[in-house]
Structure 1
Amino acid sequence: MQVTETQNEGLKRAYTMLLTAQELDAKVMDKLKEAQPDVEMKGFRKGKVPLALLKKNFGQRVLGEAMQEAVDDAMKAHFAEAGVRPAAEPAMKMTNEDWKEGDDVEVEMSYEALPEIPELDLGKIKLERLKVVPDDAAVDEALKNLASNAQDFEDRKKGSKAKDGDQITMDFVGKVDGEAFDGGSAEDYPLVLGSNSFIPGFEEQLVGVKADEEKDVTVNFPEDYQAEHLAGKEAVFSCTIKAVKAPKDAEIDDELAKKFGAEDLDALKGQIRERLEAEYGSAARAVMKRAMLDELDKMVSFELPPSMVEQEAKQIAHQLWHDDNPDVQGHDHPEIETTDEHNKLAERRVRLGLLLAELGQRAEIQVTDQEMTQAIMEQARQYPGQERQFFEFIQQNQQMQQQMRAPIFEDKVIDYVAEQAKVTEKEVTKAELEREIEKLDDEA
C-alpha cells in the first residue's frame, strides 16, 4: 500500500493511503485460501472447492474484512517505520466515497503524535518526606471519638422531657383513614430523636414527651414513598412512651475495646496508633507527591498534543462548574467555556501524565494481575451482596479495567521516582502536616 504524507506540523500528521484494486484482490484471495481447507460445498469434497468458485460465492463477504485488514496493516507498518506513537486512535476516512468493486481504495489518516520526552536525571530531585509520630494525646482523642460513636443511653430522671438526641422507647400503631396498615406498628421500639430514621416530621413531634405519656403523631407520607398505597397519604401514629433516655458516651475500658474487636484497651490503643500512622503516612505521601510533580514539571518542556490539552481543559472546567453548582446532578446545563486558567492546569496535567507514562515504560513498570485483583476486591466491598457481579462486570469491561489500572500504575511510578530521588525525612507535628495538606487543597 502506498502511503504519502500530506501534513507534518508540530505533532499533527496526515497521510493518504492508496490500496490498489490488484492489492485488494490479492488480499481477498489470500483470505479465501486461508479458509479453503474448511469449506464444504455440494459437489466438492471438503477443502477442494476451487478458489474461483469461492470468490464468486464469498468474495463480497470477505471484501470488507480484507480492506480493513489491509488498512490496519499499513497503519501498523507506518508507525513501526516512522517510530511514532499516536496520542489517540487515528482518524480514518475513505475519500473516494463512490467506490465500487474494481476501484482503488483511497484512505485519509490523521492523528497527533506523542512528543519526544527527554531523558531525566531523577537523582537530581530533592524531596522531603514528612513524618508524624502519633502521640498519646492523638490516641486518646481517637478513643474519645470511638466512645462517642459507641454511645449508650441511660434513663433520664422521672418526669424529664425528651430532648433532641435522646432515645425514647415506645409502642406505636399507625393508621391511615382509621385503618392500621402493615408495617405501621411496633412494640418497645428504640428511636433516637433527630436521627431522621422515621417519616419527615415524625421525630420532631416527640421532642418534649415524657415516660408513660401517650401522644398521637400526624404525618404525611412522601409522594415518592416506596409503598405506593401509602404514598402521599396522611397517617396518625398512636404512641405510648415507655422510657426517655439521655445519650452517654461509652466508658473507655476493656469492654469498649471488645466492641471494636480488640482483646483489651491496650490492644485497641495499639490498633489506633497503627491506623493513625497509616493516615499520617498517606497524607505525607500526598504532600511529597505534589512536591515531586512540581520538580518534574520544572525539569521538562515539550510540545503537547493540542486535542489532549483541549479535552483535559474541558473536563477541568466541567468539574469545577459542578463543584460550584452541586445542586445540578445531570449534564443538562449551558456549555461551559474554558479559561486560560483551565488551559494552564490542563497543560500541566497532560505534560505530567505523558512524562509519568514514559518514565513507567522506560522502567518497565507493570501492574500485576494480583494488584488488579486486589484493587477490584477493595472496590467490590462497596457493594455488599453484589461483590461477585461487580467483579464479573470489571472483568468484562476493558475501559473500567483501564480506569482502575491507571492510578495503580501512577502510584508505582511515583514510588520509582522517589527511589531514584534524594529523599530526606523530617519529623513534624500533626498540625504542621495538616497545614501542608491545606496548601494542597488551596493549590488544586
Structure 2
Amino acid sequence: MHDIRFIRENPTAFDAGLARRGADPASAAIVEIDAAYRAVVTEAQEAQAARNDASKAIGAAKAARDEDRASALMAEVAGLKDRLADLDAREKELRARRDAVLAALPNLPADDVPQGADESDNVEVDRWGTPHAFDFAARDHADLGPPLGLDFETAVAISGARFALMRGPMARLNRALGQFMLDQQTGEQGYTECVPPLLVRDEALFGTGQLPKFSEDLFHTTDGRWLIPTAEVSLTNIVRESILADADLPLRFTALTPCFRSEAGAAGKDTKGLIRQHQFDKVELVSIARPEDSEAEHERMTGAAEAILQALELPYRKMLLCTGDMGFSAKRTYDLEVWLPGQNAYREISSCSNCGDFQARRMNARYRPEGGKGTAFVHTLNGSGLAVGRTLVAVLENYQQADGSVVVPDVLTPYMGGIDRLVPDAKAG
C-alpha cells in the first residue's frame, strides 16, 4: 500500500515511479477521491460538533422552561443524526474506493533498479564458481532422476501434472537439503526458526500483496482459506497489527514449509521436471527492519542465501532485477541463478526482495523509534534460502557422474545416514 500523503505532495514523482513499473498514471484519480473523502470527513466532524452543541442547548432550554426552543433543538439533533449516518456511509464508500485503487498498484522501484521490460533486462552484479566441464554429455535432472527414485509418472497418476514422488535415497537427499538449509539459516545466520500455518486468511495474503490481484495463482479451500504460496505470507504477518519496540529490531524469521502454487500464468513453461511444481518445499527468510537498516538487511539476507550455494559448491550468478521483472510488492530484488548443466543455463533458485514499507502499510505493522515521537512503519524483506526442489535439481545435475549416479555433496553427508552416492536402480526409470 502506498502513502497517501506522499501521493498528495508528490503526484508527479509517484506517477513517474508507476511508469517505471509499466503502470498508468494514477495520482490524479487517487487525489480526487481522497479530496472528496477528506471533505466528507470534515463535514462529518462539523455536523457532530453541531449535534453536540445542540444536545447541550436542549438541557439549557428545558432548564429555562423554553419548550419551543427545546423542541426545535431536538428536531435539529434528529436531522443531524440522519445527516451523520449518510456522511458515515459516504465516508466508508470513498475510503473503500481510494484504498481499492491503492491496493491494486505495485510498489515503486528504488532509484538504483535498472529500467527494463523483462528478465532480459536484468543486470548481473556478481558471479561465483565455475561451471564444471564434464567429459560426457550432461543430462537433465528429469532424465537423470527416475532411476534414482524421482518418479513423475506415479505422481501424475495420483495428482496430475506438476507433481513429483520421491523414493528412497532421493527422498532422503531432498530432506537433507531442507534440513541443512534450515540449520545454516538458524545456526549461522541468526534467523529464528518457525513452524507457521500453511492455511491463511484473506487478510494475510492482502498484507503481503498476493490479494486481491493474484488470486488465480493461489489454491483456495472450501472454507475460505488459502494454501500459502510461500512462507513469506505467514512469517511476515507475524507482525501484523503490531507496534514493535525499537530495541527488538531487526526480527529475522525462517521456516521450512511446503508451498502451493497454481501456476496459472505458467502454461507451457517448465512442464518437465521439478523446476515449476504445484507443491514444493522451500526455506523462507523474512526480516522486519528499521527503515534506515533495510538496504543493509537486504544485502545480508541475499548473502545468507548465497552461503548455501557456496557450501554446496554450486556455481551461480547474482542478478539485480529490472523494473519489469520485479514482484508486485518489491522495491528492489536480487535473484540468484544457479548453473544447471543439463540445461546449459543459469536458472533462478532464490529471490530476495526489499519491500520497504509497502507490506507494512497493508498490515499496519509499526515500531516506536528510540527517542522519537509516535510510531513509524517497519520495512519488510523476504527471500528464499533456498527453494529445496530447485536446489535438488542443481545438485543432481552438477554432481552427476557418467554412470548415472550422483555424488552427495560433502556438507550433506551428515544428513544422509551413511549414503554418499545415489546409484541408479536398474528396475526404475
Q: Pick the TM interval, shorter chain.
A: under 0.3
Q: Which has the larger radius of gyration?
A: 1
* TM-score of the superposed pair, with normalisation by structure 2: 0.24
Q: Select the structure with the greater relative contact order (CA < 8 A; seq sep ≥ 6).
A: 2
What is the TM-score of this pair, normalised by structure 1? 0.23
